[in-house]
Every structure is written in C-alpha cells, then in structure tokens.
Amino acid sequence: MTRDKLKSAAVSMLEKAYCPYSHFPVGAALECEDGTVFTGCNVENAAYPAGICAERNAIFHAVAESRTRFRRIVIAGKSHDFCVPCGMCRQVMREFSPDLEIICLNGAGEEKTFTLDQLLPYGFGPEFLT
Ligand code: THU
C-alpha cells in the first residue's frame, strides 16, 4: 500500500473511534512486513483504564491474525499537535518491531515521522529475557 493510502486508512478510522469521555478520536493503520494492513481506533470505557489506544488496537488485531513483524504505522488525530503514541503503545511497538517507522498526523493532515528508537530510547525488549 502506498504511504498516502496508509495515511487515508488511518484518517478513515477517526470516525470509528469510541471516545465519549475524552472526545479525542484517534485512528491507526499498521502495515505488516508482508504488506497486510490492519487498522484500529481508540475504544474508551466508563471504567477509564479499560479503554485501549488506536495503535494497540491495530497491533493486537494484527497479532490475532498471526502477524508479528511490522514496517510502519500511521497514527491520525484531529488536534493541532501531531498524534504521538503514548508510552504504553511505544512499549508494545518495541516488542514486535524495534525498527518501526511511526508516522504521526495532526488534524491538518501534516505529518511528522519518527523511528521507534527516537520515541523509546534504550527500550526494554524480548531479547532481555533470553
Ligand atoms: N489515544 C490513542 O488512541 N492513541 C494515542 O496515541 C494517544 C491517546 C487515545 C486514548 C484515549 O482514548 C484518548 O486518546 C485520550 O487520551
């Protein structure tokens, strides 16, 4: 999938977000190493910690479909700031793809791209446990 199409897939997920508490929709589109794309949105809950971010939703969706190697992820928000992943999502990304490219969009559709190493330097990963 082209970069632009992956961006559009993430933006499309904004309308699926279930965010009645924060009113902060987030959409994500994850491209796996085999080219498959999985999408996700944030899903909140009346018991706040039970909710999940868009990125982890997409990643867990991919894992449930037997994909654990990822190339890039687009994260779309509607705010002025670029929608960067939270710490928990960075850690989940680290588990599967230390070389992941992370493309963050703001509400104007502008993008800022990061490596996971920039967002989570010295991250703890599975190799520490072997
Ligand atoms: N959120 C995401 O889905 N991804 C991010 O990168 C940042 C935050 C969600 C969690 C919550 O539903 C809402 O945005 C406000 O924090």
The token pair at 96 is 């599967």
Task: Give the position of tokens 């589109």.
Answer: 29
Q: Give me the catalytic one of 15, 33, 55, 127.
A: 55
CB neighbour list of residue 4: distance below 8 Å, 6 or more residues apart: none
- Residue with CA at minimum distance from ligand 1 atom 10: 53
Q: Give the dihedral sign, CA 52/15/38/87.
A: negative
- d(CA 103, CA 112) in angstroms, rounded, equals 6
- d(CA 63, CA 68) in angstroms, rounded, equals 6
Q: Could you tell me the distance, in angstroms and rounded to a whole number, from the CA of residue 95 to the centre of ligand 1? A: 20
Q: Could you tell me the distance, in angstroms and rounded to a whole number, from the CA of residue 61 to the centre of ligand 1? A: 17
pLDDT digits (tens, 9 = 90+) for 36-58: 999 999 999 999 999 999 999 99
pLDDT digits (tens, 9 = 90+) for 1-32: 899 999 999 999 999 999 999 999 999 999 99
